[in-house]
Amino acid sequence: MEPADGIRKFGFRRWYERQLVESHCYLVTCFLCFVVVLACIEGFSFRAEGWEPFMRLTVMIAGSALGAWALGRYKVMLDLAEYTAEQSTCTDCGTYGALEVSGVRVLARERAEEGRREEGEGKLIGVRCRRCGHEWTIQ
What are the structural domain ranges in the chain? Answer: 1-86, 90-139
Mean pLDDT of 14-27: 95
The CA distance from 10 to 92, in Å, is 24
pTM for this entry? 0.76
- What pLDDT was estimated at residue 6? 85
- What pLDDT was estimated at residue 69? 98
- What pLDDT was estimated at residue 109? 54
- What pLDDT was estimated at residue 30? 97
CA 68 vs CA 20, 26, 29, 55, 123: distances in Å: 19, 10, 10, 20, 27
Torsion angle in degrees (nearest 10) through CA of 32, 35, 36, 41: 160
Residues paired with 137 in a beta bridge: 126
- What pLDDT was estimated at residue 121? 56
DSSP state letter for 44: -
Nearest to 123 by CA among 102, 108, 112: 108
Per DSSP bridges, beta strands 135-138 and 99-111 are unpaired
Could you read off the pLDDT of 47-78 as tens digits, one per residue? 788 888 899 999 999 999 999 999 999 999 99
Residue 1 three-state SS: coil
